[in-house]
Structure 1
Amino acid sequence: MKISQKLVLGFLSIAVLTGLVGAIAANQQSQTAKYLAQEEARKLAEILGYFANHELEERKPLSRDEMVAHLGRHVQMLHQQQQRDIVIVDRNKTILADAIPQNVNTKFDHDLDNEVGKTIQDGKARSFVETSPDYPQGIQQKARYKRSS
């Protein structure tokens, strides 16, 4: 084998190896980002669940409307301070609180495969792409369910 062929083969081997390492690193980074987003959604669900169970119990008696308004204020605060787009729905997927106030008291039907409904039923976290008038290009969402005690 000529030296030029060996050099070309060596360069090709390095290029393939570099591409393979890059693809593995990109995949690992994607998996890490998904995991971190799931953990962030879990922690946020726990915080809101704690708020709903404990902070509001101290203010009894509250009507459902007062509780929903209070949740809405917290969601708006999180949206303004941390740029979080949070939607809280009840078991019927009626929006109780949303970062977009005009969506409150409407049906959350932007998950085409009913990922939110499935999460409410079995408690397993799910990811889906929401396509709606608010997000015409679509936005990745995480569905978490916090059971009240």
Structure 2
Amino acid sequence: MSNEKAGRPEILTLEVAKKIAKLIERFPDAEIPATWDNVTAQCKKCYGLDFDWRTLSQKRWDGEKLIANALTAAKDIQKRMRNDSSPSYKTSSRATLLELVQKQNAKILSLKDELEKVRSHQMDTLDAFLHTRLDLQELLNRASSEKL
């Protein structure tokens, strides 16, 4: 018997999920409403993959729902952009600049949130590495045997 898994190969891999998450992150800039219907439609259009929204929303990698988190972030950005709606004097140059600044501030806030998540994950990884005991004598023996 071989050790290979039987059945159909996994289509929704980590790499595909990262591509879908990047696609979802571009929704606010493209003014595409952040909904599961649009996510499934864009997946089919861009990658030719027809996924059900339930599959996309529940699939986890390392305990994290990449696609669902990306959609939540896109919804937050769109909500901030909607709340920071343009002023009543749209034709004035000052109002236009203020609108652009508000959009950029909304994106900056969401990116800061994402950066904080990545930093905490990296700190957890570093902490786990630092608390792993290493046998220095074994490492020295290995290093000396490789030189010979």
TM-score normalised per structure 2: 0.29
Higher strand share: 1
